[in-house]
Amino acid sequence: MNKNELKSFVCSAIDSKQEEICRTGEELLRMPELAYKENKTSAFVSAHLEKLGLQVRKNLAITGVRADISTGRPGPRVGILGELDGLIVPNHLFADPVTHAAHACGHHAALNAMLHAASFLTQESVLSHLSGSFAFVGTPSEECQDQPYIASLIKKGQLQFFGGKSQMIAEGVFDDIDIAMMLHAGAENFTPSGFNGFVMKRLIFKGRSAHAGAAPEKGINAISMMRCAMTMIDAQRDTFRDEDHVRIHGYIPEGGEAVNVVPDNTVFTLQVRAGSPEAILDASEKVDRCVHAAALAFGGETQIENIFGFMPLVPYDAFDELHRENVKIVSPDTPFTKGIYRPSSTDMGDVSMIRPSLHAYFRGFAGSAHTDTFLASDKKAAYVDSVKYLVLNAIDLLWDDAATGKRIAALPTPMNKEEYIKAMKGFSSVKKFSCQ
Ligand SMILES: [Zn+2]
Ligand SMILES: [Zn+2]
């Protein structure tokens, strides 16, 4: 069998299991869970991989799992990833009535693709043609919800990072994985030219309380400090370069307690995103200066807590190209776009910092991601074609003594693991400022 014959043999085998593949996808859709609480999903993934005869390592980054299979011949280890978590979208048709978690980002479909890719790649009829090995990895917490819960796990020392893949990198799960790939659900087939990374900021303004009617002159108004900081942050926006894709957005979890008391404490939670670690730090530093300046203006205090979130995603053109060729085989009549920049963020960015990676979007969904309108509109594309993309990519990587896999594994990455961990920790900080 040559490579093309093997590819069409596997595609026919996948087609013959269409119903089963769609069924597990729909089961996962009805099992939405939030970050680091993906217990049912994790058990589902483990059971599927164990049924294939694989040994599953569990409780990686709390709910993550990994199972490996080797061809018995030397070659790179290809990590095939599937994300376990959903996010809070209460009005989603398949939202959990208690937690309000929903698969409004389509992780269930991409996870399903990973599970069934494992079903076919572990068959001797496929494996016997390849060299190297596979690691099937279920990764927790890409959406990082809910944040206070994750922050509590970090405080207790159970986690170092918000993102599941970041945490898995820190725990060594990717140490022996040479190449990583995953898919993401969307409206079109495309490969991104990059994603923003971000830093999470908790900005605490401390003033002095006083009677808001009788003696406001005795108080220091923490809301006034905060809104002046907001105005100064807004005024910084024209200093950001278009090519850095800076986004600054947030909300106010604490904004005072009573209408007739000058508020002495407010909290502003902010996310600063940009396309490179340098641009994230530049924008983050400008925000910090605005916060300190507001405290100076009012004679108050501020505390800034910066926790580095995700790294920007680095594209690997050769890997994207390999994927595009396989999309052409499976879906020749659908458009494919190369190089769409995503100003949102993913912890696959973190993996891409240290390993040649693929993070490609597959069609089959309609509506806006992260809203109640995001649902599979073409089940064959969402559940079946996505399996084929992963399997065909895997065959290309490990065919012919894994020649292509070795070439992609050797592509340079911006950082190694140690540099990555150092950067993640170095970019996090606590800064205090007081006029007292
Ligand atoms: Zn999402
Ligand atoms: Zn997502």
Q: What pLDDT, on a 0 to 100 scale, did the predictor assign at position 101?
A: 98
How remote is the CA of residue 373 from the centroid of ligand 2, in Å?
15
CB 384 within 8 A of CB 375: no
- 331: helix, strand or coil: coil
- Tell me the pLDDT tens digit for each residue of 349-393: 999 999 999 999 999 999 999 999 999 999 999 999 999 999 999
Whole-number average pLDDT of the chain: 97
Whether 3-194+312-418 and 197-310 share one fold: the answer is no
How remote is the CA of residue 245 from the centroid of ligand 2, in Å?
19
Per-residue confidence at 148, pLDDT binned at 50, 70, 90? confident
How remote is the CA of residue 346 from the centroid of ligand 2, in Å?
7
How remote is the CA of residue 369 from the centroid of ligand 1, in Å?
7
How remote is the CA of residue 37 from the centroid of ligand 1, in Å?
16
CB 372 within 8 A of CB 224: no
- Tell me the pLDDT tens digit for each residue of 405-427: 999 999 999 999 999 999 999 88
Q: What pLDDT, on a 0 to 100 scale, did the predictor assign at position 284?
A: 97
Distance in angstroms (rounded) separating the CA atoms of residues 212 and 80: 59
Q: What pLDDT, on a 0 to 100 scale, did the predictor assign at position 77?
A: 98
How remote is the CA of residue 170 from the centroid of ligand 2, in Å?
21
CB 35 within 8 A of CB 140: yes
How remote is the CA of residue 309 from the centroid of ligand 1, in Å?
14
Tokens 């303004």 belong to residue: 205
Q: What pLDDT, on a 0 to 100 scale, did the predictor assign at position 435?
A: 84
Q: What pLDDT, on a 0 to 100 scale, did the predictor assign at position 114?
A: 98
How remote is the CA of residue 75 from the centroid of ligand 1, in Å?
33
- Would you give the DSSP letter of residue 211? B
How remote is the CA of residue 107 from the centroid of ligand 2, in Å?
6
- Tell me the pLDDT tens digit for each residue of 151-207: 899 989 999 999 999 999 999 999 999 999 999 999 999 999 999 999 999 999 999
Distance in angstroms (rounded) separating the CA atoms of residues 355 and 300: 45
- Tell me the pLDDT tens digit for each residue of 252-281: 999 999 999 999 999 999 999 999 999 999
Q: What pLDDT, on a 0 to 100 scale, did the predictor assign at position 162?
A: 92
Q: Which residues pair with 266 in a beta bridge?
A: 205, 255
Distance in angstroms (rounded) separating the CA atoms of residues 31 and 184: 18
CB 53 within 8 A of CB 122: yes
How remote is the CA of residue 32 from the centroid of ligand 1, in Å?
13
Tokens of 118: 């494992």
Q: What pLDDT, on a 0 to 100 scale, did the predictor assign at position 4?
A: 97
Tokens of 398: 């490990």
- Tell me the pLDDT tens digit for each residue of 291-336: 999 999 999 999 999 988 999 999 999 999 999 999 999 999 999 9
Choose which CATH entry (3.40.50.720, 3.40.50.180, 3.40.630.10, 3.40.50.1220) describes domain 3-194+312-418: 3.40.630.10
Q: What pLDDT, on a 0 to 100 scale, did the predictor assign at position 365?
A: 98
How remote is the CA of residue 51 from the centroid of ligand 2, in Å?
27
- Tell me the pLDDT tens digit for each residue of 48-80: 999 999 999 999 999 999 999 999 999 999 999
- Ranges of each domain in the chain: 3-194+312-418, 197-310
- Tell me the angle at which helices 386-409 and 317-330 cross, rounded to the nearest 10 degrees: 150
C-alpha triplet 414, 193, 75: angle, nearest 5°: 55
How remote is the CA of residue 347 from the centroid of ligand 2, in Å?
10
What are the distances in angstroms from CA 386 to CA 25, 109, 143, 261, 327? 11, 8, 21, 57, 9
Q: What b/e readout covers 421-432, taking b as 16+ CB neighbours within 10 angstroms? A: bebbeebbeeee
Q: What is the CATH number of domain 197-310?
A: 3.30.70.360
Distance in angstroms (rounded) separating the CA atoms of residues 267 and 18: 50
Q: What pLDDT, on a 0 to 100 scale, did the predictor assign at position 75?
A: 98
Per-residue confidence at 400, pLDDT binned at 50, 70, 90? very high
